[in-house]
């Protein structure tokens, strides 16, 4: 009896943590949209926190299972952190309109060469209007639908993998700069569309000084959206991950980032800023 009550209490606590961070249900397109926005906010916040880009007071704490998740405060006074929050608000506008295909965040060290990246983070989005009727999973040849539990498991796994990766990358240099670029779906995005806080970008190449190692961090699906997260870093800064055999596909110098560039319109790029770490 006692064990049963304890299990029930833990389940209730887990449900409350999930609902407090994301959504208690994902049955509608609007609920799915809110979830994807929050998932991206959690991922971007976790990256900037675990990489030591912004100070502790720029974040608030949330909890999910055994994880303490730091989320950027919308009202934070740190200039760089408030800029990232504004970037994400612009992303959410494009996401809501279903124009957004990829969000690319680049980390670089030379303000004269913003296209020479030492780390990058890519978030790719897909949409469907069919909702729950769309078959998105297969098991032993049988078609299945994404459930809330599927989404929860995939979300927690993605966050855990992101935590592991961030904690095992070499420490960033003392001064780093961030840039964010958006890439759109050509067939639905108006030619003159610019989300709030962004300006028109250029079709220029991005590259790493050395060999870029790419990590497929994970994928989260709902009935209406799919979010995929990918991280790239210069191979010389991955000693811990190489020892742990966590490396995946490797790309060479001067690769275009993201590799799907030919499929997309290059979106606007926000102003660049420096962050002390």
Angle between helices 148-168 and 29-50 (to 10 degrees): 10
Q: Read off the pLDDT band of 208 (50, 70, 90).
A: confident
pLDDT of residue 273: 38
DSSP state of 250: E
Query: If you search the block for the tokens 């989320």, which residue do you land on?
Result: 71
All residues at 6 or more sequence positions from 204 whose CB lies less than 8 Å from its CB, including other chains: 115
- Cα gap 117→105, rounded to integer Å: 10
pLDDT of residue 145: 76
Mean local confidence (pLDDT), 146-171? 91
pLDDT of residue 70: 94
In this predicted structure, the answer to whether residue 5 has a pLDDT above a threshold of 80 is: no
In this predicted structure, the answer to whether residue 260 has a pLDDT above a threshold of 50 is: no
Cβ atoms 198, 89 nearer than 8 A: no
* 35: phi then psi, degrees, rounded to nearest 5: -60, -45
pLDDT of residue 120: 93
Count helices and strands in the chain by DSSP H and E runs: 5, 14
In this predicted structure, the answer to whether residue 248 has a pLDDT above a threshold of 60 is: no
- Cα gap 166→251, rounded to integer Å: 20
Domain 2-276 in CATH 3.40.50.1820? The answer is no
pLDDT of residue 100: 94
Cβ atoms 223, 28 nearer than 8 A: no
- Cα gap 125→122, rounded to integer Å: 10
Q: Read off the pLDDT band of 230 (50, 70, 90).
A: very high
């Amino acid at each position: 009896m006692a064990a049963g009550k304890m299990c029930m209490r833990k389940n209730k606590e887990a449900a409350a943590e999930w609902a407090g961070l994301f959504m208690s249900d994902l049955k509608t397109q609007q609920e799915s949209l809110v979830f994807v926005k929050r998932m991206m906010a959690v991922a971007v916040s976790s990256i900037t926190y675990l990489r030591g880009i912004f100070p502790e007071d720029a974040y608030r704490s949330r909890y999910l299972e055994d994880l303490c998740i730091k989320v950027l405060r919308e009202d934070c006074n740190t200039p760089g952190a408030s800029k990232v929050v504004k970037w994400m608000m612009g992303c959410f506008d494009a996401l809501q309109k279903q124009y957004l295909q990829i969000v690319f965040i680049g980390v670089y060290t030379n303000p004269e060469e913003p296209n020479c990246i030492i780390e990058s983070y890519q978030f790719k989005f897909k949409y469907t209007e069919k909702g729950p009727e769309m078959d998105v999973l297969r098991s032993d040849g049988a078609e299945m639908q994404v459930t809330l539990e599927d989404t929860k498991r995939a979300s927690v796994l993605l966050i855990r993998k992101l935590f592991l990766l961030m904690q095992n990358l070499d420490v960033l240099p003392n001064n780093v700069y961030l840039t964010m670029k958006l890439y759109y779906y050509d067939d639905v995005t108006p030619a003159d569309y610019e989300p709030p806080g962004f300006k028109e970008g250029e079709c220029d190449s991005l590259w790493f000084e050395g060999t870029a190692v790419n990590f497929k961090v994970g994928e989260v699906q709902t009935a209406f959206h799919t979010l995929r997260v990918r991280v790239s870093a210069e191979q010389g800064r991955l000693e811990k991950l190489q020892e742990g055999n966590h490396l995946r596909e490797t790309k060479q110098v001067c690769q275009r980032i993201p590799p799907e560039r030919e499929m997309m319109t290059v979106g606007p790029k926000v102003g660049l800023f420096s962050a002390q770490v």
